[in-house]
Amino acid sequence: MGAMTEQTLQRQVLRWLKHHHSNAFVWKIADRWRAGLPDLFILEQGRVTFIELKVNAQQPRPLQVVTLQRLRQAGANAVVCWTLADVQRLF
């Protein structure tokens, strides 16, 4: 089996959130006009979490790092996750 793709990880994460956090509002952010936005927005019980998904040894691009920092400064939980287990630890 080859290396996991970001798309495969995203499907796993969305499936897990649907089954284990069915009351959460989950939005897959896909805005080709605004670079740097995280992949997922999750709102659950008043808690806002932004997740940038990466696989293997990929690192966030500089603009993604700045965006995550700005989201944290605004009060959100904004993180990079490389595996489904990383996401599960957040919740």
pLDDT tens profile 10-33: 999 999 999 999 999 999 987 777
Share of the chain above pLDDT 70, in %: 98
Q: Is the pTM of this model over 0.85?
A: yes
Residue 68 Cα distances to 16, 17, 51, angstroms: 23, 21, 9
What is the spatial distance between Cα 20 and Cα 55, in angstroms, rounded to a whole number?
22
- What does the pLDDT profile of the chain (91 residues) look like in tens digits? 567 899 999 999 999 999 999 999 999 987 777 789 999 999 999 999 999 999 998 999 999 999 999 999 999 999 999 999 999 999 9
pLDDT at 91: 92
What is the spatial distance between Cα 27 and Cα 41, in angstroms, rounded to a whole number?
5
Provide, for the chain, the percentages of residues in helix, strand and coil under a 3-state DSSP scheme, each rounded to the nearest 5. Answer: 35, 25, 40
